[in-house]
A and B are shown apart, each in its own frame.
Chain A
Amino acid sequence: MSSGTQLAQRHRFRWWELLPWAAGIAAFFVFPNYLSFATQVLITILFALSLDLVLGYAGIVTLGHAAFFGAGAYTVGMLAMHLGWNEPISGLLAAALVAASIGLVSGIVLLRTHGLTLLMLTLCTMTLLEQAANMGAAWTGGFDGMPGLSFSKILGLFGFDTLYFRSQYLYALVTLLLCFAVVRMLVYSSFGQSLTGVRENLLRMHAVGAPVRTRQVLVYTVSAALAGVAGALFTQANGYVNLAVLGLERSAGVMIVLILGGHGRLYGAFVGAIVYMVLEHALAKAYPTAWQLGLGLTLVAVALFARKGVIGLVDSVRRRLPGAAR
């Protein structure tokens, strides 16, 4: 094997990378009655993908990522409700911008710390936003949020279909595709490689002259923007926004989704979101307490034995198969 093969090939497209998108399009035809649920899955995938940049690649442990999701969600909601601005695509961009700004400022300030302190600070930042949303009822609708939002046609052509979610689903699918392309590009770039370096050995990164803090703030900001887009999609697709877009439950939820799927792996978010949400949809409403118990036990087991999630398990099985490449 000549040197440079693996690294030089890693970013190339593989045929099976088309599968998730083919499946996404197929789902549109095969599950016409479940598109509302499927849209939520797509939104969660995007949210988890954004978290993966920060958590899986850069190794920043945060319990406050919902801050950016919520920022995006409320931006779109407030623009629609107070300014009558309900054009969807510009709404996405505005949400990304607001979320990115919050990410940039909080990143610069918080990423000076690490460990428990950083965890607490991300938690506090998010809870602060949550409390602000709760208090600022005139703008945010307070505890009840803003129901009954409507948005204009996407590109002037496709109206939001509140019954079957047809346009929403495809809209979310395309948005996810575009965002995923950005994430994929970042991950395979030198920047992405340096993030992995920061995660693997922080001291070494300093010792090769990398501007570690700058890289961390950059990825935090980009991740915030993507989370903001996911939040914006939430508000647009569902036609409402309330406090549930913020808070520990949402932050912990997306973290669980990502870990279960496999963090630090491009498709971990996909696997995690689909598996988790399908199971949750099937079990949680019928047996909420049993669901919580099962989830808790699963998390304990994953932390102890399968920290790389489903993708990690698949990897270790593949490695044991005869004739497996490294």
Chain B
Amino acid sequence: MDPVSILFGGLASGMVLFIVSVGLSVTMGLMGFVNLAHGGFAMLGGYVIVLAMKHWGFAFLPALALAFLAVALFSVVLERLLYARLYRATELDQVLFTIGLVFVMTAVVTLGIGPETQVIDLPEWLRGQTDLGFFSYRTYSLVLIAVGTALMIGLWLGFERTRFGARIRAAVDNRRMAQSLGVDVGRLFAVTFAIGSGLAAVGGGLGAEILGLDPNYPLRYLVYFLIVVSVGGLGRVAGVFAAALLIGVLDFVLKFYFPKGGTIFIYVLTLVLLLWRPGGLFGRRGA
């Protein structure tokens, strides 16, 4: 594989990480809640798509939409019923709760569907190669890169230009002040959580080709999602984007050239970055 292909492969990987992790970054920045179960929503999204396409005759895009809606709805129910009770709890309790939740999700999927890796049949227009003139590459990966970039721009605009986005930014920066200014923090949490989880679901489905899809998905990629989120800076869309691409490309490159254990550099890099900037590359100065 030539360097350009490797780069694009890494970028595609990174895009998947971004789409899944951006929701986690915002909700963690917003709610201050350590949600280790976020990968579970990505997994559930992937499985919804598999079910929809294989058993209910959905096409790819409608299945994506269904995954977004179904998981968003499910996550809101979880959030209102369970998560909300732990907003004031200690970090330890939140870690415990979300680890337990991941176990439950993993077990339910294993029991309900099975432990095998699931494959999503990509539609015709995503298969094959696209010729960009100077080189040709997998259509699927190119689309991923385009979608990820579009999503980043869309989210960034949403944060900077809409009132809803302004409310989120205000609440991330200073929750109590936002509350005293009349922001309905409870509803903000629920809606943001839903969108974040829905995006994760889409990411889980879109990325199934690259990251795979099986019941162990959430635990396997937990560390990566957390790295992307903490290195990028909580609540910073641009930060998550940069961190996701960085990790995605690095991981791809390292796995290619040093398959035996090159990924150690990612952990070293994360260590160094977080010690240098505890709040993330784009986050606040201190943690």
A residues neighboring B (CB under 8 Å): 55, 61, 63, 109-110, 112-121, 123-125, 127-128, 131-132, 134-135, 248, 252, 255-256, 259, 263, 289-290, 292-293, 295-304, 307
Contact = CB atoms under 8 A, between A and B. Distances in A.
B287 A117 contact: yes
B284 to A, nearest CB: 11
Contacts of B226: 116, 119-120, 123
B103 A293 contact: yes
B100 A300 contact: yes
B267 A127 contact: yes
Interface in B240-287: 260-261, 263-264, 267-268, 270-271, 274-275, 278-279, 287
B274 A135 contact: no
A236 B102 CA distance: 34
A115 B92 contact: no
A259 B226 CA distance: 23
Contact of B89 (A109, A112, A256, A303): A303
Contact of B28 (A116, A118, A124, A302): A116
B82 A134 contact: no
Given A123-B226, A289-B107, A113 B267 contact: no
B238 interface: no
23 contacts: A112-B275, A113-B278, A115-B287, A116-B226, A116-B287, A119-B91, A121-B274, A121-B275, A124-B271, A125-B271, A128-B268, A135-B260, A135-B264, A295-B100, A295-B103, A296-B99, A296-B102, A297-B104, A300-B82, A300-B104, A302-B100, A303-B93, A307-B90
A300 B93 contact: no
Contacts of B85: 304
Nearest to A305: B85
Contacts of B222: 248
Contacts of A113: 274-275, 278, 287
Interface of A (DSSP majority class): helix
A118 B270 CA distance: 12
Contacts of A292: 103, 106-107, 110
Nearest to B234: A116
Interface string B92-117: 11111101111111111011000100
Contact of B104 (A110, A125, A135, A296): A296
B34 interface: yes
Given A61-B95, A114-B287, A131 B264 contact: yes
Given A115-B287, A296-B104, A304 B97 contact: yes
- Taking residues whose C-beta sits less than 8 angstroms from the other chain, chain B's interface range is 35 or more
Contacts of B267: 124, 127-128, 131
Nearest to A136: B261
B275 A115 contact: no
B261 A134 contact: yes
B108 A293 contact: yes
Given A61-B95, A116-B226, 13 more contacts: A61-B91, A116-B287, A120-B226, A121-B274, A124-B271, A134-B261, A295-B103, A296-B105, A300-B97, A303-B89, A303-B94, A303-B100, A304-B82
A124 B260 CA distance: 18
B81 to A, nearest CB: 10
A128 B268 CA distance: 7
Contact of A299 (B90, B100, B263): B100
Nearest to A298: B100
B94, B223, B227: residue with the most chain A Cβ atoms closer than 10 Å: B223
B278 A55 contact: no
B86 interface: yes
B50 to A, nearest CB: 19
Interface in B64-104: 82, 85-86, 89-97, 99-104
